[in-house]
A and B are shown apart, each in its own frame.
Chain A
Amino acid sequence: GNSVTQMEGPVTLSEEAFLTINCTYTATGYPSLFWYVQYPGEGLQLLLKATKADDKGSNKGFEATYRKETTSFHLEKGSVQVSDSAVYFCALLKAAGNKLTFGGGTRVLVKP
Chain B
Amino acid sequence: DAGVTQSPTHLIKTRGQQVTLRCSPISGHKSVSWYQQVLGQGPQFIFQYYEKEERGRGNFPDRFSARQFPNYSSELNVNALLLGDSALYLCASSLTGDEGEKLFFGSGTQLSVL
Q: A: which residues have CB within 8 A of B?
A: 4, 32, 41-46, 51, 89, 91, 93, 95-105
Contact = CB atoms under 8 A, between A and B. Distances in A.
A4 B48 contact: no
A98 B42 contact: no
29 contacts: A32-B100, A43-B105, A43-B106, A43-B107, A44-B105, A45-B105, A46-B102, A93-B100, A95-B99, A96-B99, A97-B48, A97-B55, A97-B56, A98-B31, A98-B48, A98-B92, A98-B94, A98-B97, A99-B33, A99-B48, A99-B58, A100-B45, A100-B103, A102-B43, A102-B44, A103-B42, A104-B41, A105-B40, A105-B42
Q: By DSSP majority rule, is chain B's interface helix, strand, loop, or mixed?
A: loop
B107 to A, nearest CB: 5
A64 B33 CA distance: 26
Contacts of A32: 99-100
A8 to B, nearest CB: 10
Interface residues of B, number: 29
Contacts of B33: 98-99
Nearest to A42: B107
Contacts of B4: 43
Contacts of B41: 104-105
B62 interface: no
Contacts of B107: 41-43
Nearest to B94: A98
B45 to A, nearest CB: 5
A108 B107 CA distance: 19
B108 A43 contact: yes
Interface in B80-114: 90, 92, 94, 97-103, 105-108
B79 to A, nearest CB: 23
Nearest to A102: B42
